[in-house]
Structure formats: structure tokens, C-alpha cells
Amino acid sequence: MTRQARVEGEPQRPSAFMISLDFELHWGMSDIVTTPEHPYVRRLLGARRAVPAMLDLFRERHIRATWATVGYLFAEDRETLKRFSPGRRPHYANPALDNYRLTIGDDEASDPLHYARSLVDLIAQTPGQEIASHTFSHYYCHEEGQTPEDFKADLAAAMAIAEHAGHRLSSLVLPRNQVDEDYLATIREVGFRCYRGNPQRAGFSRHQRDATFRRALRLLDSYVDLTGHHGTKWRDLKGDPLDIPASMFLRPRRGIPQLDALRLRRIKKAMRRAAKRGEIFHLWWHPHNFGDATDAHLRDLSSIIGYFQSLSIEYDMRSMSMGDVLMRHEQVTTAPSTT
């Protein structure tokens, strides 16, 4: 198939297929997975097998991705965690959200649910992979009992422990996508230059009061087109820090062939539309979503990547991380005018 012209793309900025992953292990589920016997522990531990397998696939297929990593996971041991933990901490009205209350082991060997330095290093060693932040403590911006000052201390700690591990961060993904516009100045002040924003469509506004309806709409929309395709035009990227909106969440398999096929079809149709229109398609998930039925999830991911590669041939779609998109955006917006 010969490469075709993009319909509405910009020559300096072709359509992009972007992946971001929320790497959190138990830190992101501690309010739900409350005992070692909880059935979801298996998935969290399974993420430790899924991460290297995904990296192998990304390396083989030349896929670039952003790994938004909870700050705790950068630590080699409990002593390192203590050293980098901020003195100022949130006091959530819901104490189940407070990760500082957890009893953890000494290091990764004794506690693989709460440490992952070896996996962080493996990600960093894989070509095209960007290490980003998912805050230090899996911080919840929309919860009662936390303040802007608490948030700033958390982000500063996330930056510091990442630098200790040898990484300079520019991209941020907020836990549970709790983006608060009042906190954007703090994000910029600490040094982050871009973040993953929420799609501008029904089901994603925090101001919609019926949370049950929002969740149901998002779930159904993953299988059938209820709210559109959700690519982002380059010219619509805005903000400082730069808002790089999510397009779709790659939901875990249901084990129902018809539903699982619908889910992939929905994603691929949205990818094709973004490729045709010269847009950014931003797919995200958690490594632990692949922690059960890992091989089947990897086959799905391979199918998505294969479809992207066909779009790359047909429409010149490119694989990009959040950092890549940030750099492309800055190059074009700061270039001197030729007129």
C-alpha cells in the first residue's frame, strides 16, 4: 500500500499514536486491595511479568511510550523511601486513601508489591521509553483533606526520588485522572512541562454530578461509539504545562469474545480516524491490567500495534511518547515565522 496524504495534518507534525501507562502496583489500589488475600493481588503481582513482556514487544516493534511511575517505586529500600518522603503530607478525609499508613517490607525482594526499582531500570534501558511521574504517593487532587501545599510537597518528592534514580522528569499523569485546574501552576512550578489531561467529552467532567452514570457511560463507550473518536489536533494542544489529553483507556479483557472484539474494533476505528485527520491518538492503561491473562492481553496489544503500523504506512502516523509530543509542539510553536 502506498503512503497517502493526510487529510488535515500539519507537515511538521504528523498524526501520532501515543501510549502512556500508569505504573503503580499496590500503591494505586491500596484503598481497594486491603488484604494480602484479596483476589486482585494476583493481578498486581502479574504486572511484574507483564512489564518486561510489554517492553519486549515495544522494542521489537519500535514503539515509544511513557511510563508514569509512582515515586515510591523508584526506591531501592525502605530507608530510601523514608529519606525522600515529604515532611508535609495530605490528611485525606477518607483514611483508606493514605498510602503513608501502609506497612511495607524492606526492599523489592521481600515486598514486590511496593518496590519496583529493577523494573524502572528495565524500562529506562529500553529504547524509546520515557520515565514520567504518577506523583510520589499516588496523590489524589480531588479528595477532601489535602491542600495545594501538600500537593507541591508530593511533586517535589517525586522529582527528587526520580533524580536519585537517574531520571529527569518532564511528564506527569495524575492518579485516577484527577486533574485540578487550580493545581496547574504548581505542576509547572515544580518543573513538569506536560500532563495527561482528560478528554473533553461526556462522562469525563468532574462537574457532572451522577458518578454512576459517568462510569457506565465510559464503560459502554469502550465498546460502542457513544461519544466520538477523540483524537486531538496538534493546534488544539494548549496550556503551560501542556495538556496532552487522553483518547481512550485500553480496558482489560472481559473473557467474552464478542465484547473483547468490540473493544479492539472501537480503538482501531478511532486510531484510523486520527491518522486520517493528522491527530494524536492517546491510549493508556495500567501494567496490572495485563497482570491476569497476560498472554491474551499481549496478543491484543500486538494487534493494536500491528494496526498502527499499517496506519504508519498508509498515513505516515508516528509512534510518540508524551515527551516526544511536547518537543514537537515546542519546536513548531517557538519556530520563527517565515512570513
| β-strands 171-172, 194-195 pairing | parallel
Question: pLDDT, tens digit, for every residue of 268-296?
Answer: 999 999 999 999 999 999 999 999 999 99
**Is there a contact between 48 and 119 (Cβ–Cβ < 8 Å)?**
yes
pLDDT value for 4: 54
Half-sphere exposure of 230 (CA within 13 A, CB side): 27
C-alpha cell at 54: 510489554
Identify the CA nearest to 90 among candidates 143, 15, 41.
Answer: 143
Identify the CA nearest to 139 among candidates 176, 113, 181, 190.
Answer: 176
Question: pLDDT, tens digit, for every residue of 107-139?
Answer: 999 999 999 999 999 999 999 999 999 999 999
- Residue 268 Cα to chain centre, angstroms: 19
Least confident range from 117-126, 204-213, 311-320: namely 204-213
Identify the CA nearest to 74 among candidates 148, 10, 167, 144.
Answer: 167
DSSP 3-state of 171: strand
Confidence label for 251 from pLDDT (cuts 50, 70 and 90): very high
pLDDT value for 199: 87
Identify the CA nearest to 202 among candidates 217, 189, 192, 216.
Answer: 217
Confidence check: pLDDT of 16 > 80: yes
Q: Rounded CA gap, 261 and 268, in Å?
A: 11
DSSP 3-state of 223: coil
Question: pLDDT, tens digit, for every residue of 71-83?
Answer: 999 999 999 999 9
Which helix (H) or strand (E) segment is 296 a member of?
helix 294-315
Confidence check: pLDDT of 205 > 90: no
pTM reported for the whole predicted model? 0.92
Which helix (H) or strand (E) segment is 304 a member of?
helix 294-315
Confidence check: pLDDT of 7 > 70: no
Q: Who wins on pLDDT, 216 or 173?
A: 173
How many Cβ atoms sit within 10 Å of the Cβ of residue 258?
9
pLDDT value for 258: 84
Pick 16-333's CATH classification: 3.40.50.150, 1.10.357.10, 3.40.190.10, 3.20.20.370. Answer: 3.20.20.370
- Look up cell 491474551; give the residue: 296
> What is the mean pLDDT of the segment spanning 75-94?
98
